[in-house]
Chain A
Amino acid sequence: MRRAGLVVRIPYLLTVSLLLALASAAAWANPVTTDHVTARLIPETAGVRPGGTLWVMLHLKIKEGWHTYWRNPGDSGEPPHIRWTLPDGVEAGDIQWPYPDPLPYGPLLNYGYSGEALHLVPIRLAQDWPKGKPVPIRAKVGWLACSDICVPEGGDFELTVTTEDGGPAHESTAALFQKARARLPVKTGWTAGLGSAGEKIVLTVAGDGLNAGRIQKAAFFPYKWGVVEPSAPQTLRPAANGLSLEMTRGQTPDSQRLDGVLVLTEALHDGPVTRAYEIAALAQGEKGAAASAPAPASASGTGNTAGEAAATVGILEALLFAIVGGLILNLMPCVFPVLSMKAMALIRHAEQAPRTIRLHGVAYTAGVLSCFAVLAGLLIALKAGGEAAGWGFQLQSPAFVAVMAYLFFLLGLNLSGFFEIGGAVGIGSGLAARGGYSGSYFTGVLAAVVSTPCTAPFMGVALGFALTQPAPVSLAVFLALGVGFALPYLLLTFVPALVRLLPRPGAWMERTRQFLAFPLYASAAWLVWVLSIQTGPDGVLAALAGMVLIAFGLWLWNVVRDAGPRGRLLGRSGTAAAAVAALALVAGLGIASAPTAPQPASGQSASGPKYERFSSERLATLRAGGKPVFVNMTAAWCITCLVNERVALSSAAVTEQFEAQGITYLKGDWTNGDPEITALLESFGRSGVPLYVLYGPGSSAPTLLPQLLTETLVLDALRDLSGKTKLTDRSNRRSS
């Protein structure tokens, strides 16, 4: 074979391996060593039964600074290829490619591997292969090794396996296969859609537990060359029930479908976990994809980067985005009326000393910042406590949503002139008129509080990013958001010229004030709609009844204003009663439908072994009885956990093994935290899920399974356990 003739000479060491392979009785293909790679062809087991499948690995150990390529090499390069020579009755399948790493070179980007490359290939042996007849496997393998320059290399391999059901060919082999399988893309039940926005294509992925806020890093690698520009940045955004990834079209785009591997790095308590997922996305509008994969946030077209963090956003960028995001918040329907009233108060009191006005501005800013700091602190604390808290977590409580709806309704009534707040902490002109800086401070707090429902949707990712960072960085991002939020008003108070630009006080102010009630009513209506989804018709009835009570209470308050002391007391008691009743109505909502629905005591996933709900007591009882136990600690927000259950714990083979070995499956749900689970996690030196522990029969030490499960890995662990079982049986027999 002529290869790379002119300058790059290929070492002709290739056939040497053939002889060595033959000489060795073990089923190891001897390494082929080229200038840049040491290659081996390794069988997983020493033998394969007729009708069975043997997994073989092409293992490339790559010299430092060099790399080989994935099935789609990206901008340049070439994937390794294997040409098999197999007798009749032996058939090789396709290479199973572990997910690649992005390999930048100048302005270009390749997809490949450095360090080592692990290629798995299934080899099937026909049913009628004569038992006892050795199976010869031969392959001509070629690969391209590149650093700055590229060199095609290759070798001829031969190995022979028996038809016996041998165990692992080698101890280190098992580890290599495990490593390779952990990097193989897994199939998920997620729905994927392909959309387009100008020069960009948008991949949308939706699935249970797929929470974009927890994802630190996302990268998509297409199977086909030319459909995605390898070197262009990919932007991660949250989408309904999942995420979207915006990419740049490649040179030969395909608007109909996109197949490839999505590599996600999930932030878990014990560090990031990376896993690859197989994606087959159809154009949205095609059947299947459109129904359950909603349009991503970016479908509106414009480059909406603000407030949404790119997958690889830096700290400075995040801070900048947060400030810009804060500025934009002022325009939200929840906030704009509040801010406007504040600005009007400024106009009205423009004659005040500039210093006083400035101090009001500072007090307002302090109010905003303290509110954001408290929220950030709360979030960071929750996160540290194992909660799946993201920005907008408050909105997950129906009671909070209902109270916010009340608040907007109340503010709206105030602007409509339905009632005046005399002296109490409220919004609008009253406060600035009081001259109390505390008034301005609380206006700031209030403005920040009312802004939160509006923040969640589009600040989600930026703040999600913030929360994956160390606490000081998180806090800085939240405070930057507050600074941006307070900036317009602060500016007005510090630059009197700006106030002079605003219109003179007059009758228009009253009309504007009345008009501004409507965005607040709209916000209230929207929150009731949110509630209708969270709680159904009952919650809506409770909230609307509460609003009627509030309106009634306010009316009562006004009616008795000019009454005698007794009448006033009666009226005000009535108002208070109405307020309490309104709150009581929605307080029940929190309990009724908070996402803390208790887990069933036992259950069975769609497929997979039966499980019992974990309790440390149950575990202790089972262990005391010497029963084998499998413990799975999971959470609804943990992508890795859910995928592990799907790909590794739900198979028929695993269920069968659980039953055959009499293993009790205990499943603990840490979604809302649970001190018993936390204690067990800590006893294994873990601070979060997932955790998989296999307790063997008797009092043997528990086996800890890795955070990334594959079916083979679980089956291997179960087999090891049954090996121990036999051992235990034997020793028992001997002793009796």
Chain B
Amino acid sequence: MTTNAFNRRDLLLLAGTTALVGAASGPLGLIRPAFAAPKIGATAPTFALPDSNGKTHSLADYQGKTVILEWTNHLCPYVAKHYGTSNMQALQRETTGNGMVWLSIISSAPDTQGYVDAAEANKLTKDRKAAPTAVLFDPNGKVGRSYDARVTPHMYIIDAKGSLVYMGGIDDTPTADWDDIKTAKNYVLAALDDMSKGRPVASAVTRAYGCTVKYDTSSS
């Protein structure tokens, strides 16, 4: 039938010229990744950010320690879910108590949801009985973008050698319903458990759920 014939012809046309077109257009590749996504197993992106007490924290400072990064925005309902149920604070206590470093990072741009000054950040920590090692400010979003942090909460674990070993959600139940925490599987705990037993992290990349990080969109 004619239609079929045309189809096969098209195929030949494509096959016959693909090589030439490919060769000729290679240098013209205009595709750029939307995000410079960090890779599991690779060295985690470096950073140096000020905390709520004016001290600068650099990732290099914590070489030899497990570092947990938590992207946060206290007004996001998904963050509220984990602080309102004390789930996040419990995790912070457990990890820092075991010699790990917990850095809460705020990448909200000024005048966007979740942006706070140092005093407010400290008050939040106090009121919520939170226990991070430090709360860091990233108002221009540079560090957030380098980690491809997309939502709050978005969680990252960096091992003692400085390699990224986990990135993704805090647990496997992507809802804002507080009751779901009881039945959810906590990915961060699972990853830390794998690490403590010397196993590779089973779920190294998971779905991070929550509100978008309120980046400064004018610079994007």
Task: Give residues in A with beta carbon < 8 Å to B.
Answer: 1-8, 75-78, 81, 105-108, 110, 142, 144, 146, 148-152, 199-200, 208, 225-226, 229, 231-233, 235, 238-241, 248, 251-252, 294, 297, 299-308, 324, 328, 331-332, 392, 395-396, 454, 456-458, 526, 529-530, 533-534, 593, 595, 597, 636
Contacts and interface: CB of A to CB of B under 8 A. Distances in A.
B189 interface: no
Interface of B: 2-3, 5-14, 16-26, 28-31, 33-35, 37, 74-78, 80-81, 83-84, 112-113, 145, 150-151, 167-168, 174-179, 205-207, 209-215, 217, 220
Given A6-B74, A77-B211, 7 more contacts: A3-B177, A107-B217, A151-B77, A303-B29, A392-B13, A396-B6, A458-B21
A76 B210 contact: yes
Nearest to A332: B20
A149 B2 contact: no
Contacts of B21: 297, 304, 306-308, 328, 458
8 contacts: A5-B80, A150-B76, A152-B177, A199-B33, A303-B31, A324-B25, A533-B12, A597-B2
A308 B3 CA distance: 24
B23 to A, nearest CB: 7
A494 B38 CA distance: 51
B22 A225 contact: no
A76 B19 contact: no
A146 B151 CA distance: 13
Contacts of B7: 240-241
Contact of B2 (A151, A305, A593): A593
A218 B187 CA distance: 35
B156 to A, nearest CB: 13
B220 A78 contact: no
3 smallest beta-carbon distances between A and B, as pairs: A303-B29, A306-B25, A457-B13
Given A142-B177, A457-B16, A229 B25 contact: no
B209 to A, nearest CB: 7
Contact of A108 (B167, B209, B212): B212
B6 A2 contact: no
Contacts of A233: 31, 34
A149 B211 contact: yes
Contact of B3 (A75, A208, A300, A303): A208
Contacts of A199: 33
Contacts of A306: 21, 24-25, 28
A305 B14 contact: no
Given A300-B22, A302-B26, A529-B12, A3 B178 contact: yes
A225 B151 CA distance: 14
Contacts of A6: 74-75, 80, 83-84
Nearest to B206: A252
Contact of A294 (B11, B205, B215): B11
A7 B206 contact: no
Contact of A75 (B16, B28, B75, B212): B212
A300 B34 contact: no
A146 B211 contact: yes
Of A76, A148, A307, most B-chain CB atoms within 10 Å: A76
Contact of B25 (A4, A225, A302, A533): A302
